[in-house]
Chains A and B, each alone.
Chain A
Amino acid sequence: MTSLPTETTGKKLGLVIDLDTCVGCHACVVNCKEWNTGGYGAPLGDEDAYGADPVGSWLNRIHTFEVTPDNAPAQIVHFPKSCLHCEDAPCVTVCPTGASYKRGEDGIVLVDESMCIGCGLCAWACPYGAREMDPVENIMKKCTLCVDRIYNENIPEVDRVPACVRTCPAQARHFGDLGDPESDVSKLVAERGGMDLMPEQGTRPVNKYLPPRPKTHSNTPLSKQAAPADKASGGFLGWLDSALEKL
């Protein structure tokens, strides 16, 4: 059924991504590809993988943005982007076959690959670019929140989180139940002012992004900070300065 679930447990599994600590190393991207090419569903296909013009399906990608405030130097923000498992997921309701669905028990948005006809309408309906057509299997691929890891009792408990979360060396990615206000992720969102992407699209994303912490800015203008000092005063440096001056 591609209607959104009417009966839910209130559980909303999702990710919290810290834009302050993400270093843009792409480890989550690579580990996502590695896990999901061998786990749930068909492999994540690539075309011309070792050639001049490689194209493939990935479930997680990192963009890098430059933000320029009015009165301060520009800063770089690395921006990982994957499915936000929206509560009002437009990708689910447009699906003509029932392949695209949102689970009532934990809110994960999934694609039943054996039902997908590869029409691509769900990707059109998603404002975030979270879905990519697999160029080999011709079915729609998307983040599964590693549904084959998080409930998997055959792997150590520490590994029962999405591959991207498990691998992040900066711990910029957090996984948990955003429907429970007492969960660690919910507290983190409350404390750091976690935000929705494109709230004006009305999708109500479950995943939240933590904004970069405010920078401390020196009152001295940059041009002054980098300029050579006029004169060293006293000590060894003072002697060296005057000695070199005399040469």
Chain B
Amino acid sequence: MHPAVSVIFFTVTSGAGFGFLAMIGLGVPMPESGPGAFLACLVAGGLAVMGLISSTFHLGHPERAWRAISQWRSSWLSREGVCAIITLVLFGFYALFWVFFGERIAPLGILVAIGAAATVFTTSMIYAQLKTVPVWNTWMTPACYLAFSLTSGILFAGAFGHWQSFAGLSVPLLGLVALGCAWLMKLLWWQNGGRATLEAMGSDTGTATGLGFLGTVRLLEKPHSGQNYLTKEMVHRIGRKHAAKLRIISLVLGAALPLALCLLAMFATGAASQFLLVLAVFGLIAGLFAERWLFFAEARHAVSLYY
């Protein structure tokens, strides 16, 4: 699949933004009110909104984007729009009370956290629902999206928050555990991806043309000498060239670096610890950009069987 920059940016930043929103909603210790609270809200909400705005850049008609919230009964993309808007509106009220009155309304925060999780889940289901892309068509896709969103959220909350521990666990340790779980899930996803091929689903050029019963089928001549929308969008092969290198880059920047920084932060205190977590966030986000590029570039679509 063609790795569109707008969609990669959208899934990574809105995933991080909604993860941060969820952590705030769950009540992790943050600045009491005022500028500190405002900054946290701006970053969390900003990341989520920026991602959503970026996702409209790949639309042919962004001015009609509002129509996308109408089909929530059948469409995951529509559900995502609905969940995102509800969550952001709820968070808007939560932020208002927090920044101006120093009051964090716990039940509202829980609703924000649920909404944020639902938004990330619906985003992942846009891809996981597609039978045409077997490597995406697994429960592990939502699991990875949710795990990375939560991990980004914990690191962001650690970088911005006034807290040393939550539920008895120190923040860097929480980050460490979350990072480990998320990347373990991703490794499982990659392992599954190696098996979940079109051929494993029973599809090949023989079934695509119905001619398999006659013998071995191979494309002799394309319908057109140049490119078309299908070959550009769904038979994209460029990104696969450096797949192995990109996987290492994503693991070094997104896993090894933040893990090491979290480990260091466990032995640091106060501002130093927070600074290390800020660096860890940058590493994770950079790693996730590489991971998300591969998510699209390595995915094989059923239509490639015709080309």
Most buried by A among B65, B130, B227: B130
A59 to chain B, nearest CB (A): 12
Question: What's the Cα separation between A84 and B58 when bound, in Å?
Answer: 27
Residue in chain B with minimal CB distance to A200: B202
Question: What's the Cα separation between A119 and B81 when bound, in Å?
Answer: 13
Residue in chain A with minimal CB distance to B81: A96
User: Which residues of B from 63 to 115 have beta carbons under 8 Å from A?
Assistant: 64-65, 67-71, 73-78, 81
Interface contact B75-A94, CB-CB below 8 Å: yes
B59 to chain A, nearest CB (A): 5
Interface contact B73-A3, CB-CB below 8 Å: yes
Known: A65-B220, A115-B67, A195-B210. A121 touches B303 (CB 8 A): no
Confirm or deny: A199 has a beta carbon within 8 angstroms of a beta carbon on chain B.
yes
The 8 Å CB contact of B223, one of A63, A195, A199, A200, is A63
Question: What's the Cα separation between A229 and B20 when bound, in Å?
Answer: 85
- Which one of B26-34, B189-197, B229-237 is at the A interface? B229-237
Interface contact B209-A133, CB-CB below 8 Å: no
Question: What's the Cα separation between A191 and B65 when bound, in Å?
Answer: 48
Interface contact A123-B230, CB-CB below 8 Å: yes
A96: chain B residues within 8 A (beta carbon): 67-71, 75, 77-78, 81
Interface contact B68-A79, CB-CB below 8 Å: no
Residue in chain A with minimal CB distance to B69: A96
Chain B 48-65: CB-based contact to A (< 8 A → 1; otherwise 0) = 000000000011111011
Count of chain B residues with Cβ under 8 Å from any Cβ of A? 59
Confirm or deny: A242 has a beta carbon within 8 angstroms of a beta carbon on chain B.
no
Chain B 23-51: CB-based contact to A (< 8 A → 1; otherwise 0) = 00000000000000000000000000000
Interface contact B60-A118, CB-CB below 8 Å: yes
Interface contact B228-A127, CB-CB below 8 Å: no
Known: A55-B226, A197-B208. A123 touches B306 (CB 8 A): no
Known: A94-B75, A124-B133, A124-B234. A65 touches B217 (CB 8 A): yes
Interface contact A211-B210, CB-CB below 8 Å: yes
B222: chain A residues within 8 A (beta carbon): 63
Confirm or deny: A43 has a beta carbon within 8 angstroms of a beta carbon on chain B.
no
User: Which residues of A from 107 to 153 have beta carbons under 8 Å from B?
Assistant: 115-121, 123-129, 132-133, 135, 137-139
Question: What's the Cα separation between A56 and B231 when bound, in Å?
Answer: 12
Interface contact B220-A123, CB-CB below 8 Å: no
A207 to chain B, nearest CB (A): 11
Confirm or deny: A175 has a beta carbon within 8 angstroms of a beta carbon on chain B.
no
A133: chain B residues within 8 A (beta carbon): 60, 229, 233
Known: A127-B303, A129-B303, A132-B229. A119 touches B58 (CB 8 A): yes
B23 to chain A, nearest CB (A): 28
Most buried by A among B1, B216, B229: B229
Interface contact B132-A67, CB-CB below 8 Å: no
Count of CB-CB pairs between chains A and B under 8 Å: 192
Residue in chain B with minimal CB distance to A66: B220
A43 to chain B, nearest CB (A): 15
User: Which residues of B from 220 to 275 have beta carbons under 8 Å from A?
Assistant: 220-224, 226-230, 232-234
Confirm or deny: A169 has a beta carbon within 8 angstroms of a beta carbon on chain B.
no
A97: chain B residues within 8 A (beta carbon): 64, 67-68, 70-71, 78
A36: chain B residues within 8 A (beta carbon): none
A79: chain B residues within 8 A (beta carbon): 209, 211
Confirm or deny: B164 has a beta carbon within 8 angstroms of a beta carbon on chain A.
no
Interface contact A66-B218, CB-CB below 8 Å: yes
Confirm or deny: B201 has a beta carbon within 8 angstroms of a beta carbon on chain A.
yes
Question: What's the Cα separation between A88 and B129 when bound, in Å?
Answer: 14
A64: chain B residues within 8 A (beta carbon): 219-221
Question: What's the Cα separation between A1 and B70 when bound, in Å?
Answer: 9
Residue in chain A with minimal CB distance to B65: A117
A117: chain B residues within 8 A (beta carbon): 59-62, 64-65, 67-68
A197: chain B residues within 8 A (beta carbon): 207-210
Residue in chain A with minimal CB distance to B75: A96
B134 to chain A, nearest CB (A): 11
The 8 Å CB contact of B75, one of A2, A53, A81, A124, is A2
Confirm or deny: A62 has a beta carbon within 8 angstroms of a beta carbon on chain B.
yes
- Which 9 residue pairs spanning A and B have beta carbons closest together? A118-B60, A138-B60, A69-B215, A61-B223, A129-B303, A127-B302, A96-B78, A96-B68, A97-B67
Which A positions have Cβ atoms within 8 angstroms of B? 1-3, 19, 29, 53-58, 61-70, 72, 74-77, 79, 81, 90, 93-99, 115-121, 123-129, 132-133, 135, 137-139, 195-202, 209, 211-212
Given A65-B209, A124-B133, A197-B209, 15 extra CB contacts under 8 A: A55-B229, A65-B220, A67-B215, A72-B215, A74-B215, A94-B74, A94-B129, A96-B69, A96-B70, A96-B78, A98-B70, A124-B233, A197-B210, A200-B202, A200-B207
The contact sample of 5 A-B pairs, CB cut-off 8 A, is A63-B209, A65-B205, A69-B215, A118-B60, A196-B210
